[in-house]
Amino acid sequence: MNESLIADDLFRRAFIVALFIGVLCRGFVLRVTDKQYPSRPQDYLEQIIISGLSASLGAIAFPALIDKEFSALTFFAVAIQQFQGLSQEERITIENIDNTEVVPKGAAYIEEISSTYESRSYISLFSALVASIIYIYFARAYKFGFLPCTILAAIGGAIVGLIFKRFLRRSSIGDIADVVEAKINFDGPILKVNDVFIENIGLEDTRSKYLQEAIAIEIIPKNMKSYGIISDLGQRQAVLHNLFIHFGINKDIDEKDLLATTKVNLGKNTVVIPYLPLVKDMDELIKVVKSTPILEVSKGKQSAYSGEKL
């Protein structure tokens, strides 16, 4: 093996700085909320380990290129396979959990979570790679010391992290539609929301529960393209699940006549949702609906509507 073209001391400093920056950049998008994974305590440790491993690969790639150790770059292929494997494991885990939910996420939402889970794994790798390149370049070309090189590497890594964060940001329902309060009423046993048929409810007690405890909203798209998105079944299920994880639902699993459902008003091109929350707060419910992320799989639906006005 030929002698390295990078001094050992420089390599160690660049590696440690790039590793730290890579893990830190992963932390920028590691938020624990009610609608975004990871949201379980053990995932903190898992994500720290994954980001550390991927950042170490990014930190070592540039020195390997300088020393013409091209075989070391095969670790990138291994890393990609590992990220895809983790994404698949996350998908399986969420699907298993989803089977026990009163209001499930649905296949489209699960696919969105798992694909985003994989994408975020690359943040540490590429931010560490850029940080390593910047550190070594300025240390060798301009003879900068440890502190200036570290600051420049941190700026470069932060820019990569911000770029990833920008592209990984999901638009939400509030960006494409207005959400307003709707009226629940009965026409005999027929449950309606703003005169849209929902279901036939035979039990008087159930009808009374809807009138006393349920609230309803109407999602009004801003154009026909937005209507194509909000009318997608997967997107509508994501809205329901978002309501469920924030407000719960006032029903048990064996109460089949109490539904978490959505209906499209074909006359007005809107979507109506009756819901039985544990806490009745219309303002917060509207905020939750607006915060629901737009799923990638729903964007291609009814694409012929693009540019058309309602």
Residues near 272 by Cβ (< 8 Å), separated by ≥ 6?
182, 193, 194, 196, 198, 216, 217, 218, 219, 262, 263, 264, 265
pLDDT per residue, tens digit, the chain (310 aa), is 466 778 889 999 999 999 999 999 888 777 544 334 445 566 677 778 888 988 998 998 899 888 888 777 777 777 788 888 888 888 888 898 888 888 999 999 998 888 887 787 789 999 999 999 999 999 999 999 999 999 999 999 999 989 988 887 788 999 999 999 999 999 999 999 999 999 999 889 999 999 999 999 999 999 988 999 999 999 999 999 999 999 999 998 778 888 899 999 999 999 999 999 999 999 999 999 999 999 988 886 565 555 556 5
Residues contacting residue 295 through CB under 8 Å, at least 6 positions apart: 108, 109, 112, 232, 234, 235, 238
Residue 204 CB neighbours (<10 A): 9
Pairwise CA distance, residues 116 & 60, whole Å: 25
Which of 57, 122, 32 shows the shortest CA–CA distance to 84?
122
The separation between CA 253 and the C-alpha centre of its own chain, rounded to angstroms, equals 27
Residue pLDDT, tens place only, 76-90: 777 788 888 888 888
What are the CA-CA distances from residue 129 to residues 63, 105, 158, 231, 284 (Å)? Answer: 10, 36, 12, 42, 42
Dist CA 57 CA 72 (whole Å): 9
The Cα–Cα gap between 277 and 287 comes to 14
Distance CA(63)–CA(309), nearest Å, equals 55
Helices (H) and strands (E) in the chain, counts: 11, 7
Q: CA-to-CA distance for 165 and 9, rounded, in angstroms? A: 33
Sheet containing 190-193: give its strands across. Answer: 184-187, 190-193, 196-200
Question: How far apart are the C-alpha atoms of 197 and 195, rounded to whole Å?
Answer: 6
